[in-house]
Structure 1
Amino acid sequence: MRLARFAVACLLASLCACTTTPPASISPPPATAADPGLERALDLARAAARQPHSSRRADAWLGCTRDAEAAAGDQPPGTDAAPALRLLAHCSDGFLLDLFRQRADGWLPGVARVDGVPLRVQIVGASRMFRGALKVTPAADVRLPTGWTYRQPGFGLPVVLRTDRCEDDPRCEVYPAEGIHQWATAWVDFGGGQTPTLHIVDPVTSPPIVVAGHVVSPAFDALSFYAVGATRSRLPSQGVFGLFGGDAIEGRAGVYLLRDYDPRRTPVVMIHGLGSHPIIWAELSGAIWADPVLRDAYQVMHVVFQTNAPLLVSRRRVQQSLDRMWSLLDPEGDDPARAKMVLVGHSLGGVVARMLAVDSGDTLWNAAFTVPPERLPGSPEDVEGIASTFLLRPYPGVCTVVMLAAPHKGSPRARSFTGRIAEALVGRRAPEIQALRRLARANPESIQPELVDSYAASRLNSIITLDAGHPVRRAGESLLPAPGIRYHTIAGKRPNHDGDGVVPLDSATLSGADSTLVVDAGHDLYKSPEVIDEVLRILRGGLGQPCANGAAAPKEAP
C-alpha cells in the first residue's frame, strides 16, 4: 500500500494530474504555502493517511476535500487553481477508495448514508441497460495485462460499474452473460454546501466537468471494465471444451456488445480462432477504447462461436449470429452502423472473416457436389442448409477485413500427430454435417467421389477442413474478398520457423491485399504491440472511406 501511495504522490507533482491511490504525505506547493485553507486541507490529508480507524479517516478525507474545494473556489476561473484541485482530487480519491472497498454494492441515485452521514449520489451517463443498484469497483484494484494500462490521468477516481445482465428487453441478449460493465469516473465534492455529493459519470459522454468553478478533465480507464468481466468469465475453458464437443460454448454463441449500441458508429467485429474465445481481444479492444478518435468512430463487438465444426459451417454460424444481433439492434435495417463493418479475425476466425466477404459463385459447390443446387436430392430443410453453407455472398455491410495469422492455404498442423489426435476428438454433431451424412448415404452419386466416405461417416470438422489438401478448402483458397472490400493480412514469423509455428507464412498472406505486415511473433500475435498498432492504423485509414458492400442505409457510418 505504501508503494502505491508513493507512486501516486509522484503523479501529484505533475500539472493537471490527479490521483487514484492516496499518497502517504503531501508537501504544500510553494506558491500556495500561505493559503490557510489549503494548509488546513493538507493537514487533514496527512492525518487521513495516518489514521487507522475507517470512520475517522473518512472524516479527515472529507474535511480535506471540503477545504481544498473552498481554496480552489477562491481562485477565479482561468487562474492557477491546479494545486488546490490536485489536493481536492487526492482527498476525494482517498475517501472513495475506502468507501468502495468497504461497500461495493448497492449504489443508486439519491441519498445514501455512510456511517450515519448523508451522501447525495448523482449518476450520469450510466448504461441504459443497467437495472437496479450498481456495484462499483475502483479501477486501481483491477489487474490488467502486463504493459497495458490504458489509464489516462485527470480529475477523479476511475471505477468500474456493474450489474447483472438485464432480462426485460430483447436486446439484453447481446450483452455478455457475465453482466453489464461500464467505465466511469467518480469524485466527491460539497458544491458550496454542507452535504457531500458523490458524482459518478461516464468520462467519455458526460458534459464538461466543473468543480469549484473550474473545468477539469476527468481521469479515464479504458480497459478495467472489460477486465472485471473477463475475470468472471468461463469462456476460456468453454472454448477449449467446445472444440471437443462441449455444449457450454454453443449456448454462449452470438455477437456481444461491450458498450451500449450506437447506431452511428462503425462496428469492429472481432472473431476468435480454433478452440479460443473473445477475451484474446482485450488488448486490441482497450487500444481502440483508449483512442478518442477511434472510440468515437468505432464500436467493438466480440463474436463467440463453437469451433468444432467445418470452416463453412462456422462461417454460417457467425453469419446467423450477426443476423440475430442486427434483428435486435436495427430491425428496420437503416442504421448507418449497419452499412459499414470491419471484421477482424485471428487464425480460424481470420479465414471465417474472409469467407464472410467473398462471392463464391459455384466454386465451393462444384468442389463438393456433382449436381447443381436445384438437382440436389434430399429434404427441403437439408437442401436449404447445404446450399446456404456452400453458396456464399459477401455479408452486407462488410467493408474491411483484417486477418491475423489466418491459415488461408491450410496448416500442416492438421496433418501432424497432434492434429490427428484433435481430429479424432473434435465434435461432429452440427446439423449441417448430419445433412451431408444423410445425403452421402442416400445419394452418394451427388457428392464428389473423394468426399463421399468422409461425409457418410461424418468425418468432417474444423481440423479436417484446415488440412491443406482438403478439396473444399483447396477450392476456397482461390476466393478473395469481393471487389470494393478492403482486406489486410498480418502474419507472424518466428526464427527457424516457416511462419508463426502454427501457420506457414505463405498460408497467412493473400495476394492483392491492401497491406501485409509480417512481425516477429508466434501464433498469439494478437497481443503484440506492433500488431495492435497496425490494426489501429488500418482503422484510422478507414475513417471516412466509402463502403462498396454497404447494406441499405440512409447515410454512411463514420
Structure 2
Amino acid sequence: MQHQGVRQVAFAFSLRWSIVIVAVFALGGCAIVSEFKPSVTVRAMAPDEYVALRRGDVLGTGKLSALTVQALRVAEIDERACAKSTSLACIAAIAAVKDMDEETRTSALAELWLQHAVSISISAPYTESSSTSAWIETARYAYAYLFFTRRAPGERAFEERQTQVRDWYNYAVQKTVAQLFGVRQGKPDAKAVKAKGVLRLGDWTLRVDLNARLPNGAAMPRELLPASALRFQGLRDIYRRDGLGAELVAVTDAQSLTNQNGLPTGDDFSTKSNAWNEMPTPNVTVVLRFDVRSMEELLASHELVVAVYDPLVQDYLSLHGQRVPLAGNFTAGYGLWLARSEFNRQSLLGLLGRDRGIDQPRLYLMQPFDPQRRIIVMLHGLASSPEAWVNLANELLADEELRCAFQVWQVYYPTNMPLPANHAAIRQVLLAALHHFDPEDKTAASHGLVLVGHSMGGVLARLMVSTSDQQLLKWAESDPRIDLNRLGKSRAKIDPLLQFQPFRGVERVIFIATPHRGTVVAGQGFGRWVAGLVRLPLTLLEALAGAIPARAYTMGTTQETLLERIPNSIDQLDEKDPFVKAAAELPISGRVLYHSIIARQNTDGSLADSDDGLVPYRSAHLEEAASERIIVSGHSVQETAASIAEITRILREDIARHQLTTADLPPAERRGTCLAY
C-alpha cells in the first residue's frame, strides 16, 4: 500500500507539470522552445567559403560584399531589397545615414553604384549615357574612399577592403573609357562630344590628359581595348603590375616612318628599305582623376580628367599627397600586335618569293622611342619573323630592371635575299632610324646597343660588328656570276655589300645557334630542295642596279633567269659556299663583347661532334666568346626557358658594366626612364 501511495503522488506531480508545459506551449507557441537551444553555433568553414566571405563582391560573385551588407544592416536598410534592386533607393538611403564612418559609407556606395552600373549595362549596354554616368559615380566614391577618408592608402595596404575598392575603381574606369571610345561595338554615346580634348556627357565634363606619346605620330588612339578582355595562345605568360588605373591597349593606325632627310651621299643602299614602325598597339594605363581638395568638393564636382599613361615609362603617380603604384600590362599590346600581323604567313610567302611576301627589311620598335633606354636589336632566322622572339621579348618586358634599361627593336627581313644584300639593307634601316630619332648622336639609346641574332640572324649580326676591307671584295671578284669591271658608276651601289666597318654604338652581341661556318644541311638533300623553291624578289635587281651579274645582260638573259643564278640565303648557309668562308674570317670588333648560346639535340657523343639538327657545334663555336652556354635543344633554342635565362643573365651583366662606365653621369642618364629609379 505504501508503494502504491508513492506512485500516486508521483503521478499527480507529473500530471501537474505536464499541464504547466501544455499551458506554456498554448500561450507562447514555439518561441519558448528556442530558449532551450544555443544562441550561437559553430561549424568549420571550407576554404572556398572563407574566400567568398572575405573577397566576394558584385564583380566576383554577383552579390554585394560582406562589408557592404554589414553597412546596410547597421543603417537598418533592407539588405535583401538592395541585393535585388536596380533602383537608386538604396544608394540614397545609405548616403543619407548620419554618423557612419566615411570609409564604410564611401566603400559601400562605390559597390552599390557598381551594382547599379552593371545592371544598366546589361539592359542597355551601349546606348544609355546613364550607364556611363553610373560607372563614373562608382569611380567617384571609390576615389573618395582611397584618397579622402581618414586613413591614407598606405595605412590600409594589407586590407582586403582596399583591394576590393581599388578593383571597383579600375573596372569602372575601364568601362567608362570603353563606352566613351566605343570599344566593344557600335559608336560612342551621341551626347559625348569631342572638342579640344574635352568630352561632355550629361552633367559631366571630361578633359583628356595624354601623358603617353602614342606611336607613329598618332594624336589619339583609334580604339582602346581592355587588356583583361584579351586572351592569347602562344604566349607563355601574361605580365602585369598591380596598381591604380585601367590596363588598356591603344590601337593606332600603323603607318611607316621614313627618313625624310636622307643620309649622307654614298651611304644609301636602298632608299625603299629606310622604313620603320613603332609598334601600333602600345599598352597604356588610364586613370580618372578628380582635381579637388576635399571630400566635399569631390562629391559636388562634375568634372574629371581622363589621364593616359605609358606603364613602361611611369610606374607610380602622385595623387593628393600620396605615392600610388600605377597599374600596367606589359604583354597585351605585344600579343595583340603579333596576333594581327600575320607574320607567319608573310614570312613563308617572302621566302618563296610570292606576292604579299616581304621584300625589304623593316624595323619595329616595341615602344615609342625612348632616348634614355639602350636598344636591343633582335634578328630572326631563316623563314622566320619577329614571332621567333615572342617569349623572349615578353620576358624582357616583364623584368623591371631590364625594361627600365632597354627598349626592344625587332628587324623583320626577307630571308630569301642573299646575305650581303640583307646585311647592307638592315644596316641602312638601323642607321636611318637612329639618325631620325637622334640626329646628333647624343642620346643614351644610340650607344651601348646589344644585338641578338638567331641562326641566319646571328650571321647577319656578326657582319654588323665585323670589318670587311678586301676580304669580301676578293670573294666578289672570284665569283663567276659577278663582273665588277663592268659596273662603272654603279660600282658605288655594291660597295656597302663588300666593304664596311663595325656598326657604330654596338657593344655586345648574343649569337644563338648561329652557323658562322655554314652547315652541311644547306648543301645537301632537303636543304638543296628547299633552296630550289626559294625565289628572289625582282626588286633585288633594282636595288643592285646592274651589279649582279653584269655580263649576263650581254647574252640577253631575262631578269627572272638572272635571279635564278644569284645565290639565295640558303645557298649562302652552305659550309662550302665561298661567301660563308670569307665572312667567317672577318675580324670582329675588339670593342664588342660577344656570347654564344649553342644547342645540341642530345648529350650522346662528344660536344665537338654534336649539332642541333641543323647547325653543328663546330660551326656555332667561337673561340674568343666571352661566354658559351650549351643547351640541350633543337635548333629553335631561342624559345627555351634556359636560353631566355642565359640572355637575361648576359643583359644584367651588361647593365652592371654599363653603369660602371657611366658612373659620372646623373642616374636618369645611366638608367632607363622608369620613374621609380
TM-score by length of 1: 0.81
Distance across 2 between alignment mates of 1:22 and 1:93 = 14
Contact map agreement 1:65 1:89 (CA 8 A) in 2: no
Alignment of 1:137 with 2:214, yes or no, is no
Give the distance between the partners of 1:292 and 1:57, measured in 2 at CA. Answer: 37
Contact 2:603 2:632 in 1 (8 A): no
Change (3 A) 1:235 1:188: same
Q: Residue 65 of structure 1 aligns to a residue in which SS? A: helix
Say if 2:152 is the partner of 1:77: yes
CA positional deviation for 1:268: 0.9
Change (3 A) 1:309 1:40: closer
Secondary structure, aligned partner of 1:294? helix
Q: 1:122–1:200: 8 Å Cα contact kept in structure 2?
A: yes
1:295 match: 403
**Unaligned segments of structure 2, at least 5 residues:** 1-47, 72-100, 189-193, 262-273, 293-297, 556-560, 605-609, 660-667, 672-677
Residues 208 and 305, structure 2, Cα contact 8 Å, conserved in 1:
yes
- State the aligned residue count: 524
- From 506, 518, 526, the equivalent of 2:638 is 526
What is the CA RMSD across the aligned residues, in angstroms? 3.9
Is 1:176 matched with 2:274? no
Matches within 5 A, 1:70-219: 70-72=144-146, 73-77=148-152, 80-82=155-157, 83=159, 85-102=162-179, 103-104=182-183, 110-113=197-200, 118-127=205-214, 129-144=217-232, 145-165=234-254, 175-176=276-277, 180-188=280-288, 190=290, 191=292, 192=298, 193-195=300-302, 196-206=304-314, 208-211=316-319, 214-219=322-327
The 8 Å contact of residues 438 and 456 in structure 1, kept in 2 or not, is answered as no
Q: 1:423 to 1:433 in 2, by over 3 A?
A: farther
d(CA) in 1 for partners of 2:435, 2:378? 19
Change in Cα spacing, 1:268 to 1:557, as seen in structure 2 (3 Å) is: farther
Of 586, 596, 606, the residue aligned with 1:479 is 586
Separation in 2, partners of 1:68, 1:456: 66
Question: Residues 516-538 of structure 1: CA distance to partner in whole angstroms, max 9, x if unpaired?
Answer: 11223322222222212221221
Residue 38 of structure 1 is matched in structure 2 by 107
Query: C-alpha deviations, 1:494-513, integer Å up to 9, x for none?
Result: 23884332222332232211
Q: Cα offset for 1:290?
A: 2.6
> Deviation digits for residues 461-518 of structure 1, max 9, x if unmatched?
1011111111221232233522121111112222388433222233223221111112
Report whether the alignment pairs 1:465 with 2:556.
no
Which position in structure 2 is the counterpart of 1:240?
348
Counterpart Cα distance in 2 of 1:108 and 1:476? 59
Aligned residue in 2 for 1:264: 372
Larger RCO (CA within 8 A; separation ≥ 6): 1
**3-state secondary structure, aligned to 2:169:** helix
- Give the residue type in structure 2 aligned to 1:86: T
SS at match of 1:74: coil
Q: Deviations over 1:150-179 (max 9, x none)?
A: 1122222211112214589857975538x6
Deviations along 1:350-371, one digit per CA (max 9) or x if unpaired, are: 1100111112343333344359
Distance 1:433 1:120 in 2: 54
Instruction: Please list every run of 5 or more consecutive structure 1 residues that lacks an aligned counterpart in the other structure.
Output: 1-6, 444-453, 548-554
Instruction: Show the counterpart of 1:491.
Output: 598
* Corresponding position: 1:333 with 2:433: no
Aligned to 1:450: none
| Whole-angstrom distance in 2 between the partners of 1:557 and 1:380 | 48
Cα 1:132–1:50, aligned 2, differ >3 Å: closer, same or farther?
Answer: closer
Secondary structure of the residue that 1:501 maps to in structure 2?
A: coil
Query: For residue 150 of structure 1, what is the amino acid of its counterpart?
Result: Y
From 394, 398, 415, the counterpart of 1:307: 415
- In the alignment, the residues of structure 2 paired with residue 204 and residue 76 of structure 1 have an alpha-carbon distance, to the nearest angstrom, of 30
- Between 1:277-286 and 1:342-351, the stretch displaced more is 277-286
Q: Deviation digits for residues 22-45 of structure 1, max 9, x if unmatched?
A: 664464469x97723323334444
**Distance of aligned partners of 1:188 and 1:352 in 2 relative to their CA distance in 1, 3 Å threshold:** same
Answer with 217-226 or 358-367: which moved more.
358-367
Question: Take 1:362 and 1:304, find their aligned partners in 2: how far apart are those partners?
Answer: 29
Deviations 1:181-238 (A, max 9, x none): 3221123354514325433222343484245653320111112112222222133222
Conserved 8 A contact 1:153-1:220: yes
Deviations 1:94-126 (CA, angstroms, capped at 9, x unpaired): 324444555228788733355785544333223
Provide the rounded CA distance (Å) in 2 between the counterparts of 1:152 and 1:418: 47
* Number of the residue aligned with 2:548: 436
2:426 maps to 318
Identity %: 26
How much has 1:442 moved relative to structure 2?
7.5
Q: Distance in 1 between matches of 2:53 and 2:617?
A: 48
8 Å contact kept, 1:265–1:296: yes
Tell me the secondary structure at the aligned position of residue 215 of structure 1.
Answer: strand
Preserved contact between residue 235 and residue 391 of structure 2 (Cα < 8 Å): no
Residues 365-391 of structure 1 show CA distances to partners (whole Å, capped at 9, x for unaligned) of: 3344359xxx95122344334443223
Cα contact 1:243–1:275 (8 A) shared by 2: yes
State the alpha-carbon separation in 1 of the partners of residues 473 and 257 from structure 2: 43
Instruction: Look up the equivalent residue of 2:163 and give its one-letter code.
Output: R
Question: Which residue in 2 is equivalent to 1:283?
Answer: 391
Provide the C-alpha distance between the structure 2 equivalents of 1:358 and 1:386, rounded to a whole number of angstroms.
Answer: 17
Cα distance between partner residues in 1 of 2:111 and 2:406: 43
Q: CA deviation at 1:58?
A: 5.0
Matched-pair contact (CA < 8 Å) for 2:143–2:169: no
The aligned amino acid for 1:70 is A
Q: In the TM superposition, what whole-angstrom CA distance separates every residue of 1:286-326 from its partner, at most 9, and x where no partner exists?
A: 22223232222222111121111222222112112222223
- Aligned with 1:507 (options 612, 619, 629): 619
Q: Which has the larger radius of gyration?
A: 2
Equivalent AA in structure 1 for residue 242 of structure 2? P
Q: Please identify, of 201-210 and 282-291, the stretch whose mean Cα deviation from structure 2 is larger.
A: 201-210
